[in-house]
Amino acid sequence: MRPNVVVVDYGLGNLLSVTMGLEHCGAEVELTSEPRKVEKADRLVLPGVGAFKDGMEGLRSRGLVEATKAFCDTGRPFLGICLGMQMMFGVGEEFGLHEGLNLLPGKVIPVPATGVDGTPHKVPHLGWSEISSPIGSTRIWGGTVLDGVAPKSAVYFVHSYFASVGNNSHLLAEADYDGHKLAAVVNKDNLYGCQFHPEKSGTVGLKMLDNFINRL
Amino acid sequence: MGNGSSAIPRGSRIDGAVRIYMPKTRLIARLDIKGPNLIKGIHLEGLRVMGDPQVYAQKYYAEGVDEIIYIDSVASLYGRNSLHDIISRAVRKVFIPITVGGGIRSVQDAAEMLRAGADKVAINTAAVHRPELITEIARRFGSQCVTLSIQAKANGRGGWEVYTENGREHSGLDVVEWAKRTQDLGAGEILLTSVDREGTQKGFDLDLLRAVGGVLNIPLVASGGMGTLQHMEEAIVATKTDAVAIASVLHYGKHSLSDIRAYALARGLNVREL
């Protein structure tokens, strides 16, 4: 009996890669946009690539905002990926101010266009960057979706906005982009968010998906 | 940055006592495809059938390649793109970013490739004929999905001309101006191939990389000419390239990705450590 995972289909994002990654790690995956199936899932993944506003509209128009929140209240494992992670927060500032799912306090703001020393750099933050525990954090990775992932492992990012968390204890891992610390993995209880793409991050990413499916 | 000196940590520049990190320079495998086969040629003319692309893709993935680019080398000529099946197979086993190009002419073509599992689509000929296509695909799927492929041939006057139809047709466009323009139109990345160097294993065209790198604020992928490990090092150290695309060296088994990565790390280059 393979573990079941529901992947939310709300019109955005490369669902196939996420599905393939989860299946590779042993899950039985169902792609759906039906609120009832989302709410009743054993495990839920919210993927997504694109603008915050479009993502929230995609969820809203399918009746998935309430269903996703209801799922999250059950305590069963939830994983938001890329835009899916960003929508976990209270507000997004892309193309105006837009309300998110508000599962975690914080806001989604632009990746700065310059380094901390003012030198311009490329946007989006694109490519393989290392993730580490935030400095001063007491969170350990054992027992979380990052269980067994070595500190400073590189994972694949592509994003122009990032989550500025309202509660630092929710920050599990961050990446350093030209001096700016960008939230990479967030977690509160059963809720996990991953700014990078675990389904595109080779063996490190697959380890995370494996943890999500089999070890949470 | 990346000058090989142990005094400056890899991947960072020092700002006071603070290490400032940049994303890793990517080592990319470029697979040119004709029908169901991986091919390899010189100057973008396919000459030799190497075999099943899936075998090569899985091998490179197992060896830790950062990304794979598939280019259908005859699609724009025949108006077909046979990559759909190749991508669908790849995405089941290869969990790194995949770019697909060759004969993508419309938003619909791009949508199909993305649905089949590609993360990015590379466009060249169709964008030269109708630059608005870049913006259309970027608006629909995001700039991060759009790789603008430029095939550059020296024009004999110190500059380079944009070629289309996989290096067969000249366009009259200046490469540097075109690169800048496509960035403004919404391209997320430039894949820059030197037609003169491609397949020769004589090294990347560093002047070309510097000229284009100098006008971009989006990532640049260098393609065409790698023959030795030193060529890769040169391109990374001497230009602003964010990635190197490797074909001959890998497909002919001259160096494995493990060797390439080990060399880069030993030389202090900012590449992913596995």
DSSP B202: S
pLDDT tens readout for residues B55-66: 999 999 999 999
Q: Write down the pLDDT at residue B42.
A: 75
Q: Write down the pLDDT at residue B62.
A: 97
Q: What is the mean pLDDT of residues B43-53?
A: 83
Chain A residues closer than 8 Å to B92 by CB: 20, 24
Are the Cβ atoms of B219 and A122 closer than 8 angstroms? yes
Could you give the C-alpha distances from B224 to A34, A71, B138, B238, B248, in angstroms and in order? 48, 50, 26, 16, 9
pLDDT tens readout for residues B106-147: 999 999 999 899 999 999 999 999 999 999 999 988 899 999
pLDDT tens readout for residues B177-230: 999 999 999 999 999 999 999 989 999 999 999 999 999 989 999 999 999 999
- Contact criterion met (CB below 8 Å) for A99 and A69: no
Q: Which residue of B21, B96, B189 is in closest CB contact with A129?
A: B21
Are the Cβ atoms of A127 and B96 closer than 8 angstroms? no
Q: Is A150 on the interface with B (CB under 8 A)?
A: no
- Contact criterion met (CB below 8 Å) for A197 and A22: no
Chain A residues closer than 8 Å to B145 by CB: 49
- Contact criterion met (CB below 8 Å) for B68 and B28: yes
Q: Write down the pLDDT at residue B81.
A: 61
Q: Which residue of B117, B144, B216 is in closest CB contact with A16?
A: B117
Q: Write down the pLDDT at residue B14.
A: 58
Chain A residues closer than 8 Å to B24 by CB: 127-129, 154
**Residues listed for chain B:** 274
Among B24-38, B63-77, B193-207, the least confident range: B63-77
Alpha-carbon gap, residue B214 to A95, rounded angstroms: 29
Q: Is A95 on the interface with B (CB under 8 A)?
A: no
User: Of B150, B232, B133, whose CA–CA distance to B190 is shortest?
Assistant: B150
Banded pLDDT at B6 (limits 50, 70, 90): very low
Are the Cβ atoms of B20 and A176 closer than 8 angstroms? yes
Which residue from B minimizes the CA distance to A121? Answer: B217
- Contact criterion met (CB below 8 Å) for B82 and B38: no
Residues 6+ apart with CB under 8 A from B228: B201, B203, B249
CA end-to-end span of chain B? 21
Q: Scanning the structure block, which residue is given the tokens 């933050």?
A: A125
Are the Cβ atoms of A20 and B92 closer than 8 angstroms? yes
A77 exposure class (CB count in 10 Å sphere: 0-12, 13-18, 19+): buried
Residues 6+ apart with CB under 8 A from B76: B102, B103, B105, B124, B125, B126, B164, B165, B166
Interface mutation target, options B95, B114, B242, chain A, most CBs of A under 10 Å: B95
Q: Write down the pLDDT at residue B5.
A: 39
Are the Cβ atoms of A205 and B95 closer than 8 angstroms? yes
- Is B177 strand, coil or helix? helix
Are the Cβ atoms of A123 and B217 closer than 8 angstroms? yes
**Shortest CA gap A50–chain B (Å):** 6
Strand order through the sheet with A98-99: A98-99, A91-92, A106-110, A161-165
State yes or no: pLDDT of B31 exceeds 70: yes
pLDDT tens readout for residues A47-67: 988 889 999 999 999 999 999
**Shortest CA gap B20–chain A (Å):** 5
ipTM of the modeled complex: 0.93
Are the Cβ atoms of A177 and B15 closer than 8 angstroms? no
User: Of B129, B228, B133, whose CA–CA distance to B169 is shortest?
Assistant: B129
Q: Which of residues 196-235 of B touch A (CB under 8 A)?
A: 216-219
Alpha-carbon gap, residue B106 to B112, rounded angstroms: 10
The residues of A assigned a catalytic role are 82, 197, 199
State yes or no: pLDDT of B79 exceeds 60: no
Could you give the C-alpha distances from A109 to A99, A178, B23, B129, in angstroms and in order? 13, 16, 20, 36
**Shortest CA gap B123–chain A (Å):** 19
pLDDT tens readout for residues A177-195: 988 999 999 999 999 999 9
pTM above the 0.95 mark?
no
Q: What is the mean pLDDT of residues B227-252?
A: 95
**Shortest CA gap A209–chain B (Å):** 12
Q: Is A125 on the interface with B (CB under 8 A)?
A: yes
Average pLDDT of the residues of chain A:
95
E runs forming strands in chain A: 4-8, 28-32, 44-46, 78-81, 91-92, 98-99, 106-110, 125-132, 153-159, 161-165, 171-177, 180-188, 191-194
Instruction: For the beta carbon of residue B78, count every other beta carbon within 10 angstroms.
Output: 10
User: Of A65, A86, A69, whose CA–CA distance to A78 is shortest?
Assistant: A69
Residues 6+ apart with CB under 8 A from A116: A178, A179, A180, B15, B18, B20
Chain A residues closer than 8 Å to B117 by CB: 14, 16-17, 20
Which residue from A minimizes the CA distance to B218? Answer: A122
Q: What is the mean pLDDT of residues A60-76?
A: 98
Q: Is B43 on the interface with A (CB under 8 A)?
A: no
